[in-house]
Amino acid sequence: MRNVPLLLILLLAACQNTGSNATQAKSDTLTRATPPAATTPPAGPATTPPSRADTSQLISVMLTSAEDWNRGNLAGFMDSYDDSATMMSHHGLIGKDSMTIHYRQTYFKAGAARQQLSFDAFRITPLAGDYVLLTGRFTLNGNNLPTLSGWFSLVCVHRTTGWKILHDHTS
């Protein structure tokens, strides 16, 4: 019985050495598989981050699009969308042409908007380069119809021609 504690100590020591060797082997493998850490560039002039477009005109684009809607100018409203724009509808992803048809059939009658559109609660979150996420609230009201209001998130990009909506998710 007196030898049992010594036997346990020897077994524990053997296990620790085996575990240590296994850990060392694993560490060696990880070291070989991990690329060397990046070095800090030498001090010098600051580098320019990727382009960040001025977002001050984005809200103006949105307000102008609402004015176009309210005048019955669906084509003007749709000008805020990029030609490659998509929208998440209750049927799934649709393109700009399908969006135009949807708006015309659902929200316009005889070439006029059935209700007045307004936007508020804007929030712009920079993404990368000239891309931003624009969130906010829309409201459709008037014409003795129930007021509709909800939230939207738009992925927008600044092109040489100005701000364009790339993707629209409105609920």
Domain of 162: which CATH number?
Answer: 3.10.450.50
Q: Is residue 21 part of a domain?
A: no
Q: 81 is in which domain, residue-wise?
A: 56-170
Q: Is residue 62 part of a domain?
A: yes
Q: Is residue 65 part of a domain?
A: yes
Round to whole Å and give the CA distance between 116 and 147.
10
- Total residues found in the chain within this entry: 171
Q: Is residue 79 part of a domain?
A: yes
Q: What is the pTM of this model?
A: 0.69
pLDDT of residue 53: 65
Cβ atoms of 74 and 110 within 8 Å: the answer is: no
What phi and psi values does residue 26 have, to the nearest 5 degrees?
-65, -45
The residue among 87 and 46 whose pLDDT is bigger is 87
Q: Is residue 12 part of a domain?
A: no
pLDDT tens string 49-108 = 445 668 889 999 999 999 999 999 999 999 999 999 999 998 899 999 999 999 999 999
- Report the chain's mean pLDDT, rounded to a whole number: 80
Round to whole Å and give the CA distance between 74 and 80.
11
Q: Is residue 142 part of a domain?
A: yes
Q: Is residue 161 part of a domain?
A: yes
Round to whole Å and give the CA distance between 84 and 96.
7
Q: Is residue 101 part of a domain?
A: yes
Whose tokens are 């030498």? That residue is 42
- Average pLDDT, stretch 132-151? 97
The structural domain count of the chain equals 1
User: Under DSSP, is residue 110 helix (H, G, I), strand (E, B) or coil?
Assistant: coil
